[in-house]
A and B are shown apart, each in its own frame.
Chain A
């Protein structure tokens, strides 16, 4: 279970800068670029809502420092809950996963990054705390896939008449590829102010499941969505829909794996076994299932990246199946199957030995 620190706010000392990374190549979700230009010991501080770190196993973050021309062993100091951790000079370019054992730490509401070099630029991303939670390790995978997948159904129309807040029906200009239980996004922009909301149809004649929250003029854009939903598959009503299911849990337990922690020590973890994930696309229109499947295949298909418990993972297609409409009267459905290893369980925490005293005495004394 990963908990991103909430309400994150960055502040810097003189001469330092924090900005959002310019391109997605430099981060996973919300990478920050930190620039220190004004000599040693400049700081960038990330403040957030106080969190009791002892309730988690480790603080996790990704840092991209790049190789440095320096004779120093450490290039950065990170302070969490009053504890200092030195970040060693990286030996390669790219993102480095930093883990800090936080089981013995108290509450924290900030992390301070202090430069040990006069000038340096680095990126930081995916900051939070996590712990192994058997209740959620498998559904975390489903949530991670839902976060990663976005499908464009490619159907839009407009409102054929004004719709007023609290209305329970709308009038659509075109019903092509709109079905009885389609989910729609209504959107309009007036004087540079955009109003938007999602609604569920009960019938394609325009009856809604709930009342409208906002008012929209005739001509407002109505986009048909393909929502991506999880394990509550039995209650799935939208048409079309992309569902993410766990269809099997395997028990091919992996070997114990040592994981290093910043500041010394580490953890021994083991993997409990893969889950078989089914991502399916289901729609009353076979043509739209085919179109959405091809879009999915191009965007995700054989391999794509998810952020699982604060860590980016590539997942690979194991198998796929196209189910045509049959005499059972079913919708066409395209299924993509993946095997994903959920986050590992911690077996042991290894603590760094800081002081070792050996008392010796001569033999026979």
Chain B
């Protein structure tokens, strides 16, 4: 008995097997996330911790958490190696965000790199408010009418893991599944 089409089916299965092993599939998924992340964070869909009152005073009440992260998230890259691909990667460790204008019209230029900002946002941080560097921080805040108690030891900045949360939203919305589907459609289309 001859069953027609078995060769084609076998070929298709082999092709899928190869495609699943291929770093190209991971690259396609990572690229999809890279494209989606700025939209998710920029729209506020990532559900990050709201701003503290101090941030609102400095940046203006309309400033949403991570509003500037658009530039940061837009700078992420996809890294491909023989075993897979990774999104949320900053290849240029010296690249810094551009200057911005604060609510009072003052210009601000960060000396932090994108990679440093991403790490600060991911883990949260504390800035000591004592000593000469603490006095500088207190002075900066005082410009905006924010006066901290002398006994306050740290300026505590909460963690806002925007990449993790964006990945959750992206996956929950079916973005990752869509990337896989589209990749396989392309594979099937070439058969």
Measured CB to CB, the residues of A under 8 A from B are: 180-181, 202, 233-237, 239, 245, 247-248, 250-251, 276, 278, 280, 282, 284, 321, 323, 326-331, 333, 335
Contact = CB atoms under 8 A, between A and B. Distances in A.
Interface of B: 111-112, 116, 119-120, 122-128, 130, 133, 136-137, 151-154, 156-159, 161, 164-165, 168, 172
A180 B112 contact: no
Contacts of B122: 321, 335
B125 A328 contact: yes
B75 to A, nearest CB: 17
A113 B158 CA distance: 50
Nearest to A245: B159
Contacts of B111: 327
Contact of B120 (A237, A282, A330): A330
A20 to B, nearest CB: 41
A227 to B, nearest CB: 14
Contacts of B136: 329
Contacts of A245: 124, 159
Contacts of A278: 123-124, 159
A335 B123 contact: yes
Contact of A328 (B120, B156, B159, B161): B120
| 6 nearest A-B residue pairs (beta carbon) | A330-B125, A335-B123, A181-B153, A327-B111, A237-B153, A329-B127
A180 B130 contact: yes
Nearest to B122: A321
A344 B106 CA distance: 51
B127 A330 contact: yes
A233 B156 contact: yes
A282 to B, nearest CB: 6
Nearest to B131: A180
B128 to A, nearest CB: 6
A122 to B, nearest CB: 45
A251 B168 CA distance: 9
A362 to B, nearest CB: 54
B161 A233 contact: no
16 contacts: A236-B154, A247-B159, A247-B164, A248-B164, A248-B168, A280-B123, A282-B125, A284-B128, A327-B116, A328-B116, A328-B125, A329-B127, A329-B133, A330-B126, A331-B125, A331-B128
Contacts of A282: 125-126
B115 to A, nearest CB: 10
Given A233-B158, A248-B168, A329-B137, A321 B126 contact: no
A337 to B, nearest CB: 8
A248 B127 contact: no
B112 A327 contact: yes
Contacts of A323: 119-120, 123, 125
Contacts of A327: 111-112, 116
A321 B164 CA distance: 13
Nearest to A251: B172
B137 to A, nearest CB: 6
A331 to B, nearest CB: 5
Contacts of B168: 248, 250
Nearest to A282: B126
Contacts of A321: 119, 122-123
Contacts of A239: 128, 153-154
Name the residue in A233, A278, A326, A330 with the highest tally of chain B Cβ atoms < 10 Å from its Cβ. Answer: A330
A323 B121 CA distance: 10
Contacts of A236: 126, 154, 156
Contact of B125 (A237, A247, A251, A333): A333
Contacts of A251: 172
B52 to A, nearest CB: 8
B164 A202 contact: no
Contacts of A276: 161, 164
B17 to A, nearest CB: 27
A327 B122 CA distance: 17
Contacts of A247: 159, 161, 164
A321 B120 CA distance: 10
Given A323-B123, A323-B125, 17 more contacts: A233-B124, A234-B158, A236-B154, A239-B154, A245-B124, A247-B159, A280-B123, A282-B125, A323-B119, A327-B111, A330-B125, A330-B126, A330-B157, A333-B124, A333-B125, A333-B126, A335-B123
Contacts of B133: 329
A233 B172 CA distance: 28
B123 A333 contact: yes
A286 B5 CA distance: 66
Contacts of A235: 156
A248 B119 CA distance: 16
Given A247-B164, A327-B112, A280 B154 contact: no
A99 B42 CA distance: 48
